[in-house]
Chains A and B, each alone.
Chain A
């Protein structure tokens, strides 16, 4: 059998393909993004980026009751956006298999909060499966879809960052098409809310059957060991347990909702002490306590915050002292992420800093505008929140409030907020950073970028017309690399009595068409440079200080964005090359 080193997320995509998934949708979000990116390479599956997670989920419901095996992907907070259909769908239940991938991010590597979505699944009465390695990421997709079809329920697979973003060897199989399951009109089931009362008891009955299933399902398995200590674990934590406590008896739960009461009671009765090792909240542990099991230790020992690791387990168990970072005579300064070379967001934050306005930020690379050197973004909450927050701050007496949002985030959840702000009489200024992509997650297309997930041309949402249609009278388009133009547009917008929008246009430098293009890099002419330091204040990572204390631009990194040349008072920075450089 062929084995390949695959990322957990790539393995999920492979699993979906092998399991005959026909429809897949989602919205990019770390750590879930690579699933659909990988799946889009398989022509048998319709894969797409949707405008947001709620829309993706609803499209998935339609596809699944219409008979297509379906997989929907999102990061943990995405499920908050999709919670509305998620809570309702289990009443009607599904026809063809429906799998939701929820990627949690303990440790908040790339997120605004920690959130254990097993609680949301429990609230929705949806079964949860948790793979423990890349191979299981692949295998559990088929398992979940079969579970979904045999119980008529949507199923959630919960992953966490290390599972989604670790690579392991995976045995590959072939695709098996699923049997067709055509849509049947059934108003009692799908259409008339009053009948949901009749469906309500069925949801409970299904949960009971699922709980019975969890008692015997193969992925909930006991690995004997001991004699005194047993461990109940799920997800990637299973690997850490095997690493740190190789001799212990283990109950590995591959299905964590509903939980198998008898299996848990039986396992715990074999040991003096049982550790519960699960990333996130005390989800399994709390259930065990409701069963009256008392010989257990979980969060009180291992903690609830952040990621788990073998080192953390070993430390918590007092098995060894894990070395800490070397601080002492030398202090290790942090290195937070920063805007890329040539990033179009720089000019906007530089102007906002100068204008000293209050700025409500949003979710994307531009959250980094809150960090030094700009410190020009003052709130970040959730997708699309910039506009509503700015409106509230304005009501609370803040003068000259600016909301700042990326193009993808604007499409995701900003549009209703803008309509609302205009409707309720706001005079805020909205800056849309239009870089034609979803930048922070690595450059995914969206409805305003004119491309689809597969790279094909797609209808392009007109952002300017969209804002005008919302009732904004003053909408300005500006080249984001034109410093004076950006400042001028912001001043004009802030002087406007009603709501205003500035669309700062400029493609993300990480897009392939920007990375692989011919350009002439810029160069500092030391004969003209007065070492005034103005170009260093652009904070471009390609501008370094050389041994003569002059600025020097790394040619291989320069994107010819021209911003440093614009700030140079002596015109000492200009394009220089014998021939245009083909960027690689």
Chain B
């Protein structure tokens, strides 16, 4: 991804995870950071029953002029998966050539599916790569837990996303300051920095290339 927006280019992002993981908050911070940079922005949200531990997806699009709030499969510049199975579920939204799938290496077994524990798909990262997708796995939940609260995995992930998007570091920090309540602010800023650092790891980026490329 380029570090500046060429004219007419609309950035397509999809955030996926399990209800309760803070999928919406991660998307909202990204959308607000894009607003503060002067972009036209649209975002989808999920409300109602899906939030109860179900699969949750949120789309964010920004650019000079955005029509649809919904991202088309195959067009996402970035898929941010807060959970492995959910990253896999929405992997096909990523653009094969230019897109990247960020995956939090964290597995949550679906609670209301028969034999879920036996049937849960492991090895999804390799599977996505075998289909030609660029995948960058991150230990966001572990990093967040080390910083005091595993629930900040969403902010670790947007920290990682931040180096891949044409938004300034200041815009991210200013948005985090505005959006995160004071008592959680410091820890979330640390989570954001940890995600940024993790994604800066050049080795990891190199390894993210698909096998057959």
B48: A residues at CB distance < 8 A: 30-31, 109-110, 440-442
A338: Cβ under 8 A from any B Cβ:
yes
Q: Tell me the residues in window 20-74 of chain B with beta carbons closer than 8 Å to chain A beta carbons.
A: 20, 31-32, 35, 40-55, 66-70, 72-74
B149: A residues at CB distance < 8 A: 556
**Nearest-CB distance from A270 to chain B (Å)?**
23
Taking a contact as CB atoms closer than 8 A, the residue among B35, B70, B96, B110 that contacts A335 in the complex is B110
B50: A residues at CB distance < 8 A: 109-110, 337
A5 and B110 in contact (CB under 8 A), knowing A239-B69, A325-B92, A338-B54?
Answer: no
A365 and B131 in contact (CB under 8 A), knowing A5-B43, A373-B112?
Answer: no
B91: Cβ under 8 A from any A Cβ:
yes
Most chain B CB inside 10 Å of its own CB: which residue of A326, A334, A441: A326
Interface segment out of the listed A160-168, A498-506, A572-580: A160-168
| Contact, CB under 8 Å: A326 / B128 | yes
Most chain B CB inside 10 Å of its own CB: which residue of A320, A334, A373, A440: A334
Interface 0/1 of A280-310, CB less than 8 Å to B: 0000000000000000000000000000011
Taking a contact as CB atoms closer than 8 A, the residue among A34, A331, A372 that contacts B119 in the complex is A331
**Nearest-CB distance from B126 to chain A (Å)?**
9
**Nearest-CB distance from B176 to chain A (Å)?**
16
Q: Tell me the residues in window 114-170 of chain A with beta carbons closer than 8 Å to chain B beta carbons.
A: 162, 165-169
B88: Cβ under 8 A from any A Cβ:
yes
Taking a contact as CB atoms closer than 8 A, the residue among A7, A162, A165, A372 that contacts B113 in the complex is A372
Assembled-state Cα–Cα distance A554/B50 (Å): 22
**Nearest-CB distance from A388 to chain B (Å)?**
23
| Contact, CB under 8 Å: A333 / B72 | no
CB nearest neighbor in A for B183:
A584
A236: B residues at CB distance < 8 A: 69
Chain B interface size range: 35 or more
B177: Cβ under 8 A from any A Cβ:
no
A333 and B119 in contact (CB under 8 A), knowing A310-B70, A322-B73?
Answer: yes
Assembled-state Cα–Cα distance A511/B170 (Å): 35
Assembled-state Cα–Cα distance A371/B52 (Å): 13
Interface 0/1 of A310-349, CB less than 8 Å to B: 1100100000101111101111111111111000000000
B166: A residues at CB distance < 8 A: none
A240: Cβ under 8 A from any B Cβ:
yes
A175: Cβ under 8 A from any B Cβ:
no
**Nearest-CB distance from B180 to chain A (Å)?**
12
| Contact, CB under 8 Å: A5 / B31 | yes
| Contact, CB under 8 Å: B72 / A322 | yes
| Contact, CB under 8 Å: B49 / A162 | no
| Contact, CB under 8 Å: B120 / A333 | yes
B120: A residues at CB distance < 8 A: 333
B186: Cβ under 8 A from any A Cβ:
no
A243 and B121 in contact (CB under 8 A), knowing A333-B116, A368-B112, A372-B114?
Answer: no
| Contact, CB under 8 Å: B150 / A326 | no
CB nearest neighbor in B for A134:
B42
| Contact, CB under 8 Å: B150 / A556 | yes
| Contact, CB under 8 Å: B113 / A336 | yes
Q: Tell me the residues in window 342-362 of chain A with beta carbons closer than 8 Å to chain B beta carbons.
A: none
Q: Is the interface of A mostly helix, strand, loop or mixed?
A: loop
| Contact, CB under 8 Å: A336 / B54 | yes
B210: Cβ under 8 A from any A Cβ:
no
Assembled-state Cα–Cα distance A236/B49 (Å): 22
Assembled-state Cα–Cα distance A109/B40 (Å): 27
Assembled-state Cα–Cα distance A554/B20 (Å): 14
CB nearest neighbor in B for A31:
B47
Assembled-state Cα–Cα distance A34/B46 (Å): 12
B184: A residues at CB distance < 8 A: 584
Taking a contact as CB atoms closer than 8 A, the residue among A109, A309, A325, A367 that contacts B68 in the complex is A309
A33: Cβ under 8 A from any B Cβ:
yes
**Nearest-CB distance from A374 to chain B (Å)?**
9
| Contact, CB under 8 Å: A339 / B31 | no
Most chain B CB inside 10 Å of its own CB: which residue of A167, A365, A545, A554: A167
Taking a contact as CB atoms closer than 8 A, the residue among A322, A332, A338 that contacts B53 in the complex is A338
A225: B residues at CB distance < 8 A: none
| Contact, CB under 8 Å: B69 / A168 | yes
A326 and B92 in contact (CB under 8 A), knowing A331-B121, A336-B110?
Answer: yes
A336: B residues at CB distance < 8 A: 54, 110, 112-113
A162-B70, A243-B67, A441-B48 known, 5 other contacts, Cβ within 8 Å: A110-B49, A167-B44, A323-B93, A339-B53, A373-B114
Residues of B within 8 A of A (CB): 18-20, 31-32, 35, 40-55, 66-70, 72-74, 85-86, 88-93, 96, 108, 110-114, 116-117, 119-121, 123-124, 127-128, 131, 149-151, 183-184
15 A-B contacts (beta carbon < 8 Å): A5-B35, A162-B70, A167-B45, A167-B69, A239-B68, A323-B93, A325-B92, A334-B55, A335-B113, A337-B51, A339-B53, A340-B20, A365-B52, A372-B113, A373-B111
Interface pairs A-B: 9 shortest CB-CB:
A110-B48, A30-B48, A337-B54, A166-B69, A337-B52, A311-B72, A335-B55, A242-B67, A323-B92
